[in-house]
Amino acid sequence: MSIEATAPKTGWSFPEKLGPFRGKRLPVVLLLMVLAAFPGELGELTRGLMTDAYVQVSAFVATTLLIFYGAERLFNFNLGAALRNARGFQVPMSALLGATPGCGGAVVVVAAYSSGNVGFGAVVAALTATMGDAAFLLIATRPDVAIVVLPLSLIVGIASGYLVDLFNKTDFRGIPSATCELAPLIGRIRPRDYAYVAVVLPGLVMGVSQLAQVDLEAVFGPWMTAVGLIGTALGLFVWVTSPVHAMSHVDDAPFTRAAEETSFISIWVIGAYLAYDYVVTFLGVDLKDAFSAIAPLLPLMGVAIGLIPGCGPQVLVTTLYINGIIPFSALMGNAISNDGDALFPAIALNPKAAVAATLYSTLPAMLLAYGFYFFAPNAFL
């Protein structure tokens, strides 16, 4: 299959032109550029937050994806076939794929279900265990919490998958929807992919140094801001010229896949960072006091937001937790209930299965959320 054959039908051929989402994405990029270039406190705050987003999250995301996709390419490992042959271990394997940071593992399981390679319990296990792209943010900023949330999500996912296989007798498989299209194949490593990956290493060094409580300003000086802003600018360029919605084509090179998917995640992270700090700095709203007034509802809100498809709302929930606005119980409920971007292909391929799997994950999410709220209200502050 040629690159042109897999390109979106927009009236011109890829890759000579910009991606099909450029019309919708360009205003977002221009707005971010204006905010970063604005004089005074607004511009200074925006540039600082963009730098933090790149050093604290994006560099880690890109590194993780490079390792994951690089290993997949190096060992030529077919996950769909492995799941089909796993038999009794499909549920724990699917949960493990779901618990992998990002949405790629859960998407693989959803596709494997539609092609008949795994049972419905495996889908529930993967979607319950996944925290989506919000996992990258939590790992980068609160690894002490991530080391609890991710294994706990994995355990709950495995238990949920086995219970569903035990009691659910409905086969939700149907004819795959024609609206579910593969991501377009880019087919080559572009100069911007090389440039993006080249900035990842210094960004990762700075991110690891920050986790080690190193004074970045003292050690790296203006280089930290330079790396953060260059990495952010390259990510914005990759995103605005991309033909990919969120998940890249499995046959693209690891450099290309890492650049594409990291830039997509970074947009949501930057948005969450800016939204929080703008509200606190310029509106003077004390979010902690505002949310404390509805404290008993916060775990329920975390679970409810998790039902929204996509990773953006989930990244915002994680940002609120990192800043001490919502309790661990709300984060835990959101981590269990949210399906990230994996819910989009699930809806497209099997709407009934997607709805059922999401509803099945709501019950354990509520139990864990309010379990922590009542019995460990001060956990992981």
Residue 366: the pLDDT is 97
The one-letter amino acid code at 91 reads V
Q: What is the pLDDT of residues 100-111, one digit of tens each?
A: 887 778 877 887
Q: Which of 220, 263, 196, 211 is nearest to 25 (CA)?
A: 263
Residues 125-131, mean pLDDT to the nearest whole number: 95
CA 126 to chain centre: 14
Q: CA 94, CA 112: separation in Å to the nearest integer? A: 10
Residue 17 binned pLDDT confidence (cut-offs 50, 70, 90): very low
Which CA distances in Å does 22 have to 17, 143, 150, 151, 372?
A: 10, 35, 35, 38, 43
Residue 353: the pLDDT is 85
What's the pTM value of the predicted model, to 2 decimals?
Answer: 0.75
Count the alpha carbons within 13 Å of 211 in the hemisphere toward its beta carbon: 18
Whether residue 367 is predicted with pLDDT greater than 80 in this model: the reply is yes
Q: What is 305-326 written as a DSSP string?
A: HHTSSSSHHHHHHHHHHHTTSS
Q: CA 351, CA 180: separation in Å to the nearest integer? A: 11
Q: CA 196, CA 130: separation in Å to the nearest integer? A: 27
Q: What is the pLDDT of residues 57-96, one digit of tens each?
A: 888 888 888 987 888 788 887 676 788 888 789 999 999 9
Residues 279-302, mean pLDDT to the nearest whole number: 87
Which CA distances in Å does 169 have to 23, 111, 165, 230, 372?
A: 45, 20, 8, 53, 32
Q: CA 333, CA 306: separation in Å to the nearest integer? A: 8
The domain locations on the chain are 18-375
